[in-house]
Structure 1
């Protein structure tokens, strides 16, 4: 089954060119089926790029998915046209009475700031608490994952001496987990962050389970069953050229940045990178969508009422 997104969302053309089946809104209303309702709280600056990345992954499953794009209520996006935000995004305050089968919260380029210094921190904390009663399964990414484990478990984040940057092989520590079904024992994951959370700060009584890590770049994926959450500290959703774009941007801005590890062939930034993580991204998000489908209540109003 296809993904349902607005007919004129820029991501539609890209996904259709890639062979992802995208349903027109007019066709969706004629089908006697309850699609999975997935929300995407997009905190990244390039909203269009990010919404395409996640729509690609959740739209590749055999289930019908309805994607709702969500933004912070009072935060004004500076890097995305206002007309795009007005046309396709709903402020969280407008959806807070609704319930979702799944809800994704992306990273944001604010990781060097203390959590409390982020302008929308109070609203984000409210959203984290809201997911416990209005969302069946939540998936947090990069900075949002750090923010979530800080909010729910008191875990601090630490600034790194240099950016963790590149494509790192990660250990599959829980091959029997439904989230990692079909994943290789070692799988590549793009990493791009200036901060980290650490294993030693995981509270003993938290119920958190480490699913994947790398000896150099640290924690990658945590299962948080008590809050029905997955926390991904890296970026399996990234497009092939995104690390290259980040590298070129930092070089252009005069920042001291190392070449992304294990990314450019022969460590030559003039050679186009090859995507070694795409299949694992589809597996992880496919597993997440499938688990939601297997366990979510049929009636939306029952979502969040029981673990």
Structure 2
């Protein structure tokens, strides 16, 4: 399914966004693919978030947008129906010309990435994208999987989950971060990391980092420019809240043993105090019904969700448009 992302169009879901009849004749439009491997609970939210992000970044530029998902990612019947009915077949990815590609992570089900059921499909996409896109973005777990496959860089387990809004600063001049707000406020949500020393030793260039969260954006040039995010540029203001509440629910249902930490620099001070009191109660009265007694949650007023990502993606789309006018990637 080819979807039009245009400046003034409402964006809800691929199922609700018709393709324009004249889109196929528009030689200036960019063709972007999203391989959405996020878990079922975040599947639809992720497609909407990336569509809105591309719309905000694209301005008057028209974008052909295709959603895909790796068939080896395990899905519930409802999510599988959504993918089969509303997403393009993954085989179409290699039959059509794509200017840019975005690949998300997936919820891990094994301790090692190369043992995941979708590993072979994902590495096939990594190898294909090196010479068949102008640029590919790898987000969060997909970034970790890509550097493991490309250079054998192993991710490292963090002492605790890295979750929150972190101030990230550019450490080198690059067109991708031009005119971006400083610092960039970026959502991170992960249990693992790849370190700056491992990346630079293998020839990657780190563009932004956080004193608390470590490496944020890094790049590597092949025939395609690979851009890696350890964070989640697509997250909206409530994404971390949804994850946090999900993890509290899992703790209360005894589906996880540890109580989740409050996301960093995310809730306001009054909410953090309420959540600290609720945590004590939850550990003492651990029962699923307690989730209904969570306090009202208020976010900090300065999280500026999406502004940094819109600037980064505006520069990325500009790079794709400029490169399209001067070169054709090897195919």
Q: What TM-score, normalized by structure 2, do the two folds share?
A: 0.80
Indicate conservation of the 8 Å contact 2:68/2:83, yes or no.
no
Indicate conservation of the 8 Å contact 2:244/2:263, yes or no.
yes
State the distance in 2 between where 1:203 and 1:111 align.
29
Question: 1:256 aligned to 256, 259, 262, which one?
Answer: 259
Aligned residue for 1:189?
A: 186
Higher helix content, 1 or 2 = 2
Matched, 1:272 2:270: no
Question: 2:46 aligned to 41, 45, 50, which one?
Answer: 50
State the distance in 1 between where 2:232 and 2:188 align.
6
User: In the TM superposition, what is the alpha-carbon distance from 1:95 to its structure 2 partner?
Assistant: 2.4
| Aligned-partner SS, 1:238 | coil
Higher strand content, 1 or 2 = 1
Aligned residue for 1:69?
A: 67
Taking a change above 3 Å as real, the CA distance of residues 201 and 32 of structure 1, as seen in their structure-2 partners, is closer
User: In the TM superposition, what is the alpha-carbon distance from 1:14 to its structure 2 partner?
Assistant: 3.4
Question: 1:214 aligned to 191, 210, 218, which one?
Answer: 210
| Aligned-partner SS, 1:230 | strand
State the distance in 2 between where 1:241 and 1:48 align.
14
Indicate conservation of the 8 Å contact 2:126/2:146, yes or no.
yes
Matched, 1:149 2:147: yes
| Aligned-partner SS, 2:88 | strand
User: In the TM superposition, what is the alpha-carbon distance from 1:183 to its structure 2 partner?
Assistant: 1.5
| Aligned-partner SS, 2:134 | strand
Indicate conservation of the 8 Å contact 1:136/1:292, yes or no.
yes
Indicate conservation of the 8 Å contact 1:170/1:188, yes or no.
yes
User: In the TM superposition, what is the alpha-carbon distance from 1:103 to its structure 2 partner?
Assistant: 0.2
Aligned residue for 1:28?
A: 22
- Count residues in correspondence: 289
Indicate conservation of the 8 Å contact 1:57/1:286, yes or no.
no
User: What does the per-residue CA deviation read over 1:242-269, in whole Å, with 9 as the maximum and x for residues that have no partner?
Assistant: 1111111111111421111100011615
State the distance in 1 between where 2:68 and 2:208 align.
28
User: In the TM superposition, what is the alpha-carbon distance from 1:79 to its structure 2 partner?
Assistant: 7.5
Aligned residue for 1:14?
A: 12
- Unpaired runs of 5+ residues, structure 2, are 252-257, 273-295
Matched, 1:96 2:94: yes
Taking a change above 3 Å as real, the CA distance of residues 259 and 224 of structure 1, as seen in their structure-2 partners, is same
State the distance in 2 between where 1:285 and 1:59 align.
10
User: In the TM superposition, what is the alpha-carbon distance from 1:55 to its structure 2 partner?
Assistant: 0.5
Taking a change above 3 Å as real, the CA distance of residues 79 and 194 of structure 1, as seen in their structure-2 partners, is farther
Question: 1:168 aligned to 166, 169, 184, which one?
Answer: 166
State the distance in 2 between where 1:40 and 1:30 align.
19
State the distance in 2 between where 1:71 and 1:12 align.
23
- Unpaired runs of 5+ residues, structure 1, are 6-10, 16-21
RMSD of aligned Cα (Å): 2.6
Question: 1:200 aligned to 197, 200, 216, which one?
Answer: 197
The higher radius of gyration belongs to 2
User: In the TM superposition, what is the alpha-carbon distance from 1:116 to its structure 2 partner?
Assistant: 1.4
Question: 1:115 aligned to 96, 113, 116, which one?
Answer: 113
Indicate conservation of the 8 Å contact 2:163/2:188, yes or no.
yes
* Between 218-227 and 39-48, the greater mean CA deviation after superposition: 218-227
State the distance in 1 between where 2:304 and 2:110 align.
29
